[in-house]
Structure 1
Amino acid sequence: MRGDGRGRWFGLLAISLGVAMIIVDATIVNVAVPQIIRDLDITSTDAQWVQEAYTLVFAALLLVAGRFADRSGRRRMFLVGVTVFVVASVLAALAGSGETLIASRVLQGVGGAMMLPTSLSLLNANFTGREKGIAFAVWGSTIGGAAALGPLLGGWLTTTYSWRWAFGINVPVSLAVIVATLVLVAESRDEHAERGLDLLGALLSVIGMTGVVFALIEGRTYGWWERERAFSLFGLDWTASISPVPVAALVGLVALGIFLAQQVRRNRAGRPALLDLSLFGIGSFRNGILAAAIVSLGEFGLLFALPLWFQNVLGYSAFRTGLALLPLAVGSFLASGIGAPLTQRWGAARVVQLGVAAELVGVAGLGFVVAPDTSWWAPLGFLFVYGVGVGLATAQLTGVSLSQVPVRRSGQGSGLQSTARQVGSALGIAVLGTVLFAGLGGLLGDRLADQPGLTPAQRDQVVSAVKESAGAAIGGLEADPRTAPIAAEAKAAFSEATRYAAFAGAGFLLIGLVACLRLPTVRHGETGESQSTEAEPSRA
């Protein structure tokens, strides 16, 4: 950051605000989808792509964006990303068709991918010692808090104004971020980067990540093997009986295999490579990104299930659902205040372990209180503990991963770390989503087996309707006195399935906690001296 004192910290706030914006946009649209469907007259498939296109492109480009930021300038890449993001947000807010909105979401994903790893590398390059620990704590808590604030903000804007403001609000925020970054954040880049570009590596990386992340996100929707519903995008229809999911997974895995082989050859030959394999020789980085991927499996997957349970079982509105998740955001932001002092006292690895343990307690506790008649106050404490854990673990795990990565390669290190977390999150949502809906189908089918006056065909129809609507059909069943008993059984089954998903998430976090025991004990400032002399930030 430029200068000392307030300017440095205001620059951090500008970067954190930009990060909050791209994280919020991953969840803000979820609660606006029903209104988007009505206004634009789009199909459920189009609505699915409005939600998923952003996440898919975002995850696919993180590695490429982080590497190119080291070469071209991290602040420059961050600013280009914000510009792309705000242009895409304007297009989305003005969209008159589903195709335009989906294309705008793709463009938003491009901008977000430029911003996230670059924000991390800017902090790694411009902060040292104890200040780096505080900076990472603020960054990590921003991610956790923003993920929880997305549904609240989206529900408020959609209910009070229009779904278009879920995108329009990005315009003033982006302009503030651009101005503040230009004034307060110094440029930094790898001054020793080799000449030449690894364009083939970049292409293979994007194809591979797109295929794998698509399969993880869409497996439950389109079928893991046989096609379970129509698949189309931009007018192109998939007509084969096999699902597009295994095809995409195979293409992605093959592309990643070729990518890794190509990267090994280029590294051995000393040629410019997208992936610097020497980074994996750094124990803290290698163990850190492995732990980050495993922890991410259970960290945010439950945020997919909880809003559905709040709205379709407890009957909350979109805005009230956001309020119910607010303790998670409060806990995450609070962690930014206590994370740095704890790190100075115990070391980052211990704080990560404490954070993951808190997440484990919070997620498992939510599993115990989920029920059709849960009181509004019962989940609050566990959500708060969950949020504190997210804030501590996300920030300090990032700090451990990058603590010994040379500044000149921090963009690539940040891109790898962010990619590991995104793939872990996608896998966690895929697994927890499968647990939720497979459990829902089986449990509801069993509960309705002896329902009076319900034939097997009608039972299967009800189970299918509740599953396909992610529980939204429960409200219609409850409104009709003749089907109200079926709605009660559906609420009970949905609650029990959500409980299973919570316990599955807790299981992943337990594995992540074990993985975190291998992290080296690092206190901010102990290993960073070589970094600060390797590449000083240039002043722009």
Structure 2
Amino acid sequence: MSETAQPDRRRWIGLIFISVAVALIIVDSTIVNVAIPSIVDELGITSTQVQWVQESYTLVFASLLLVFGTLADRFGRRRVLLIGVVVFALASILAALSSSGDLLIASRLVQGVGGAMILPSSLSIINSTFRGKERAIAFAVWGSTIGGMAAVGPLLGGWLTTYFSWRWAFGINVPLGVIIVIGVLVFALESREPGAPGRVDIVGAALSVVLFASLVFGLIEGRTFGWFFSDTPPSFWSFEVSPIPFVFALTLVSLVAFIAWGLRRERAGQSTMLAFGLLRISSFRNGNIAAMIVSLGEFGIILSLPLWLQNVLGYDALQTGLVILALAIGSFVASGFAGAFGNRIAPVLIVQVGIVAEIVGVVMVALSISPEAQWWQIVPGLFVYGFGVGSATAQLTGVVLMDVPVEQSGQGSGTQSTARQVGSALGIAILGTILFASLGAGLTARLDDRPEIPQAVRTQIVDAVVDSAGTAIPGLDAQSPDAAADARAAFSDSTRYAALAAAGFLALGFLATLRLGGAPSAQREQREQREKQQQG
């Protein structure tokens, strides 16, 4: 029995600081969304770089979750979490001091390393520290923190960006990191699994990095380099065929190699990056599929809405944060709902209710989007969406891990976190591509109906609006009010399309949850009996 299984009030206080550590990486992601227009203005980054400011972080994050989940089990969960917080805080300093888009993206890469240490180790600590009903409460606190902080981030980011600088959107992580390190050292107990094998699957780790990196790169750069043929190939490419099909081929080869290598190691009794054995547990397998699809859909609003509010409606960063605060309020209401009914209603049912609320909320927001929209038309949908995020996120983690043996909690939580982050990465890439591709096509079609604007000028306008992620729209008013109106209408349409696509993915996620639930598995019954014996 690990020392964290011993009754200790400190573990509940420690849970608070662990949740704040998770909030640190979640808030940072959402803060950046609100700060993006200011970053574009100051650093002059393109729309592709806008996606990479997010994706560089998410890409590394998803690629390393399995590695650090395994390392946390072997070398100490609290230790890995603390190292992650320190790495994240130091990378935040570099991000705050960045003088170019490339340096900012590089800083985000390092932040991804820190974040990949924090998330699975926090889950593993909770899974090994709390038992029975207490575990459900702990997961509800952890999950509600993700939902709530994902919405509070834009408000904090808006305030910092409006009254100080976008650089403080990263700088705020430093004092928060210091508080987290002190709190975790004082209140969180260390735990590890001494019997776990010491060698890490280096080949599996490398294959997973190549797999996720090539997949996300292809999805993001496809619209820039061309999906099949290329008019604007990268400097390192000299063929008419786009490099993107070859990138996706690399993804497929890496996936096959990763699975074959992992199964071979598993048959030999060696450690693996992905818990292939755990995938035989239906709740774990189906829960991860649902988590990935839901995470993909949940980025339909977070990515595009701040850009639309600021560049089309003319809100500043703080006003944007205040609008999105409705999402946070919905998430906090959901945490109260989960706390009140979490032990009376099946967790799977709460997850399903949450996903339905997300779908309804996203559709409400999509139907409200127009160049003349008012904030009060957007807020109700955001509230409903936030309620869904808080409900689904709080319970889905517990559902995924309910049958996972404690000794494999780090690997199980790493797998679960990877499923979420892969979904998030795909969501940013796919929905970002829908947003900017439909923006370019829609604006081109609208400007083609204005023959008084020369063709060359039309092309320049479209390129400027798309490449700037919409920040060039306000500047068009003085040059061509008609073109500015067309740009606002096209950006509204593309934002609506991205939201509706997100609703579609969320619907698929809901269908995936229909395979969850049912009678307790043999693994769960054995685990519960073992925990009762330990407590007795």
Q: TM-score, normalised on structure 2?
A: 0.91
Name the structure 2 match of 1:203: 206
Name the structure 2 match of 1:470: 469
Deviation per CA, 1:266-309, whole angstroms, max 9, x where unpaired?
11111222233110111110110011111122112321111121
- Shift in Å, 1:459: 3.2
Matches within 5 A, 1:131-210: 131-210=134-213
Name the structure 2 match of 1:383: 382
> Residues 433 and 89 (structure 1 numbering): CA distance in 2 closer, same or farther, change over 3 Å?
closer
Q: Does 1:436 align with 2:435?
A: yes
User: Does the CA contact (< 8 Å) of 1:347 and 1:521 recur in 2?
Assistant: no
Paired letter, 1:276: A
Paired letter, 2:514: L
Name the structure 1 match of 2:341: 342
Name the structure 1 match of 2:493: 496
Paired letter, 1:191: P
Q: CA RMSD in A?
A: 2.9
Q: Does 1:73 align with 2:76?
A: yes
Among candidates 469, 482, 503, match of residue 506 of structure 1: 503
> Residues 47 and 440 (structure 1 numbering): CA distance in 2 closer, same or farther, change over 3 Å?
closer
Matches within 5 A, 1:54-69: 54-69=57-72
Matches within 5 A, 1:107-118: 107-118=110-121
Paired letter, 1:490: A
Identity %: 56
Q: Does 1:261 align with 2:260?
A: yes
Please give the secondary structure, in 1, of the residue aligned with 2:416.
Answer: helix
> Residues 11 and 59 (structure 1 numbering): CA distance in 2 closer, same or farther, change over 3 Å?
same
- Shift in Å, 1:78: 0.8
> Residues 78 and 436 (structure 1 numbering): CA distance in 2 closer, same or farther, change over 3 Å?
same
Counterpart Cα distance in 2 of 1:347 and 1:523: 12
- Shift in Å, 1:39: 5.8
Counterpart Cα distance in 1 of 2:302 and 2:43: 27
- Shift in Å, 1:204: 1.6
User: Does the CA contact (< 8 Å) of 1:62 and 1:416 recur in 2?
Assistant: yes
> Residues 515 and 423 (structure 1 numbering): CA distance in 2 closer, same or farther, change over 3 Å?
same
Name the structure 2 match of 1:424: 423
Counterpart Cα distance in 1 of 2:353 and 2:519: 15
Please give the secondary structure, in 2, of the residue aligned with 1:189.
Answer: coil
- Shift in Å, 1:376: 1.4
Q: Which runs of 5+ in 2 are unaligned?
A: none
User: Does the CA contact (< 8 Å) of 2:220 and 2:430 recur in 1?
Assistant: no
Please give the secondary structure, in 2, of the residue aligned with 1:345.
Answer: coil
Q: Decide which moves more: 133-142 or 93-102.
A: 93-102
> Residues 7 and 231 (structure 1 numbering): CA distance in 2 closer, same or farther, change over 3 Å?
farther
Counterpart Cα distance in 2 of 1:379 and 1:434: 23
> Residues 227 and 111 (structure 1 numbering): CA distance in 2 closer, same or farther, change over 3 Å?
farther
Q: Decide which moves more: 492-501 or 59-68.
A: 492-501
User: Does the CA contact (< 8 Å) of 2:283 and 2:400 recur in 1?
Assistant: yes
- Shift in Å, 1:340: 3.1
Paired letter, 1:162: S
User: Does the CA contact (< 8 Å) of 1:348 and 1:523 recur in 2?
Assistant: no
Counterpart Cα distance in 1 of 2:486 and 2:96: 40
Paired letter, 2:191: S
Matches within 5 A, 1:2-401: 7-33=10-36, 35-36=38-39, 49-95=52-98, 100-227=103-230, 243-401=242-400
Q: Decide which moves more: 401-410 or 65-74.
A: 65-74
Counterpart Cα distance in 2 of 1:281 and 1:13: 33
Deviation per CA, 1:4-62, whole angstroms, max 9, x where unpaired?
57533221110111111111222323444455566667787766644432222112111
Name the structure 1 match of 2:448: 449
Please give the secondary structure, in 1, of the residue aligned with 2:304.
Answer: helix
Counterpart Cα distance in 2 of 1:536 and 1:209: 42
> Residues 334 and 447 (structure 1 numbering): CA distance in 2 closer, same or farther, change over 3 Å?
same
> Residues 532 and 200 (structure 1 numbering): CA distance in 2 closer, same or farther, change over 3 Å?
farther
Please give the secondary structure, in 2, of the residue aligned with 1:28.
Answer: helix
> Residues 114 and 485 (structure 1 numbering): CA distance in 2 closer, same or farther, change over 3 Å?
same
User: Does the CA contact (< 8 Å) of 1:191 and 1:535 recur in 2?
Assistant: no
User: Does the CA contact (< 8 Å) of 1:302 and 1:432 recur in 2?
Assistant: no
Counterpart Cα distance in 1 of 2:332 and 2:86: 27
User: Does the CA contact (< 8 Å) of 2:51 and 2:428 recur in 1?
Assistant: no
Counterpart Cα distance in 2 of 1:205 and 1:282: 22
User: Does the CA contact (< 8 Å) of 1:408 and 1:534 recur in 2?
Assistant: no
Q: Number of residues paired by the alignment?
A: 530
User: Does the CA contact (< 8 Å) of 2:55 and 2:428 recur in 1?
Assistant: no
> Residues 113 and 360 (structure 1 numbering): CA distance in 2 closer, same or farther, change over 3 Å?
same
> Residues 134 and 33 (structure 1 numbering): CA distance in 2 closer, same or farther, change over 3 Å?
same
Deviation per CA, 1:199-256, whole angstroms, max 9, x where unpaired?
2222222222222222234434444344565758xxxx66665555444333233223
Name the structure 2 match of 1:487: 484
Counterpart Cα distance in 2 of 1:470 and 1:96: 19
- Shift in Å, 1:94: 3.9
Paired letter, 1:365: M
- Shift in Å, 1:430: 2.5
> Residues 212 and 453 (structure 1 numbering): CA distance in 2 closer, same or farther, change over 3 Å?
same
Counterpart Cα distance in 1 of 2:370 and 2:400: 39
Please give the secondary structure, in 2, of the residue aligned with 1:271.
Answer: coil
> Residues 479 and 246 (structure 1 numbering): CA distance in 2 closer, same or farther, change over 3 Å?
same
User: Does the CA contact (< 8 Å) of 1:2 and 1:8 recur in 2?
Assistant: no
Name the structure 1 match of 2:411: 412
Paired letter, 2:490: A
User: Does the CA contact (< 8 Å) of 1:211 and 1:253 recur in 2?
Assistant: no
Paired letter, 1:421: R
Counterpart Cα distance in 1 of 2:221 and 2:131: 41
Counterpart Cα distance in 2 of 1:309 and 1:112: 28
Q: TM-score, normalised on structure 1?
A: 0.90
Counterpart Cα distance in 1 of 2:175 and 2:284: 36
Counterpart Cα distance in 1 of 2:286 and 2:208: 22
Q: Decide which moves more: 223-232 or 418-427.
A: 223-232
Q: Does 1:516 align with 2:519?
A: no
> Residues 315 and 228 (structure 1 numbering): CA distance in 2 closer, same or farther, change over 3 Å?
farther
